[in-house]
Structure 1
């Protein structure tokens, strides 16, 4: 059985200081994939993200949301800067809380909001770009336990 040919990619080698022209070199793609990649540092959350977070938490608190939890996603995910998880006592209250949050963000002109799950009222997701909001009925929140997953520290310990 013949050996599997190596996949290569041609890359332009820069001209050296002696003035010779640039040349094409073959790079083994399998070897390139094995090189560890440098982790990109995630910038600190912007003031706009913190303003949006404060507005959402205040809106939820003013409208009697229960067990409001804020999770800083820095270093855990690039999807948003913050996540908010809260309960409503019923499906109707969960839907109403989602409406209040979307209305408050729109009135403050802090960006567009997209919602999912309002029809059922068990779990409503609001994507406000920099802040992700999860609104649950209590038993649904207990079943999924999102806060346990997102608060876990998966970074390796250094000794």
Structure 2
């Protein structure tokens, strides 16, 4: 008997583009996608963006999870939502970092992954 899949299986490149679009739909700023395949052992893609406020960061994270549910995409969890300064959404092969601008500058995720192929999201 073949076990039916619970979640839709899509390529990480497609998933990272969806995540960036969903963030853009809710006015996240400075959205950057980093391809870390071969550089990182826990994920294939990263998305980094900035939020205007704590409530905005929380709303962005909630929107991502809502969209994953609607699209039947697997996600593992969320960290940092209560403080809203740095919210991490784990979508398995895509990890999304939602920052307040000053916190983003401090941790410099883009600099940490400078060898990764970087794409600045331009919107649609």
How does the TM-score come out when normalised to structure 1?
0.64
Aligned to 2:44: 81
Structure 2 runs not aligned, ≥5 long: 1-8, 117-124
Structure-to-structure mapping, 1:80-159, within 5 angstroms: 80-152=43-115
Q: Provide Cα deviations, 1:84-143, integer angstroms capped at 9, x if missing partner.
A: 000001111011000001111111011123000000000000110010000000010011
Structure (1 or 2) with the larger CA radius of gyration: 1
Which structure has more relative contact order (CA 8 Å, sep 6+)? It is 2
Q: Post-superposition shift, 1:47?
A: 4.6
Structure 1 runs of 4+ aligned residues shifted over 6 Å read none
Aligned to 1:40: none
Structure 1 runs not aligned, ≥5 long: 1-45, 154-159
> C-alpha distance in 1, partners of 2:72/2:58?
21
